[in-house]
Amino acid sequence: MYARVIPLRFKPDYSDDSLDDFLTVYRKSAVPDLLQRRGFSGGLVLTDAASQRGLLLSLWERRDDLRRSQPHSQRIVSAMLLPFLSQPPTPDLYEVCVQAGHALGGRVAQTLSLPVAGDTLDRALEVYTNVLLPELKQQPGFQGVFWFADRQAGSGLGLSLWTSAEAMRATDEPGAFFPRAAKALAAFFRAPPVRGYYTVSGQL
């Protein structure tokens, strides 16, 4: 499976009303076409009012399906969504290396940049899937998780979905799951990982 992640930076006058308008335009202009695209396997809209940022995520069964959808995605963003944004976004295309739990149903999401070089990615994934993932699944409020990777660029993104903000934040407390996971994977990181927190504003 493959993923397109479009980072969004909303305009400084971002508000609840402008978010509602953005979501309405997205649902009307992008969703109908996405649902008919060959290989489309689901999507999420994540937003963070505090940082005026967001993410548009779409999942695809095959790399070719993702690539064929690119021109239309760029047209939709330029024609319909750009008026809400402070700058044109650059999409990131990833291989989905890990998908566990449920892609839908979460109310909040946490992201973590995963700057792992391509030649060490498989070893990092082995540690993650064999040691860390079983424990993550047992965390209260856990809904689902993804590890997206671009082997050539040596970059990646972790995305976890949670039933509540309280459950999500608890995993970041000192000695809790995510600090311990970061320590276990630290040898594979080329740079310090960056964390983000979002509300799940739309699901497909």
Report the C-alpha gap between 119 and 52 in whole angstroms.
Answer: 35
Q: Which domains does the chain have, with CATH numbers?
A: 2-93 (3.30.70.100), 96-203 (3.30.70.100)
- Quick one: pLDDT band at residue 79, thresholds 50, 70, 90? confident
Q: 4 or 32: whose pLDDT is higher?
A: 4
Answer yes or no: are the C-beta atoms of 88 and 100 closer than 8 Å.
no
Q: pLDDT tens across 106-134, in order?
A: 899 999 999 999 999 999 999 999 999 99
Beta bridge partners of 102: none
For position 15, what pLDDT does the model report? 75
Q: Report how far apart, in Å, the C-alpha atoms of 109 and of each of 15, 101, 120, 194, 195 are.
A: 20, 13, 26, 14, 11
- Quick one: pLDDT band at residue 77, thresholds 50, 70, 90? confident
Q: Which two tokens stand for residue 95?
A: 């291989």
Can you spell out the DSSP letters for 45-67? EEEETTTTEEEEEEEESSHHHHH
- Quick one: pLDDT band at residue 36, thresholds 50, 70, 90? confident
Mean pLDDT, to the nearest integer, of 52-74?
91
Report the C-alpha gap between 112 and 158 in whole angstroms.
Answer: 5
Q: Look up the pTM and report it.
A: 0.91
Report the C-alpha gap between 200 and 143 in whole angstroms.
Answer: 12
Q: Report how far apart, in Å, the C-alpha atoms of 204 and of each of 53, 57, 167, 184 are.
A: 20, 10, 23, 33
For position 190, what pLDDT does the model report? 93
Answer yes or no: are the C-beta atoms of 39 and 115 closer than 8 Å.
no
Q: pLDDT tens across 42-58, in order?
A: 999 999 988 889 999 99
- Quick one: pLDDT band at residue 35, thresholds 50, 70, 90? confident
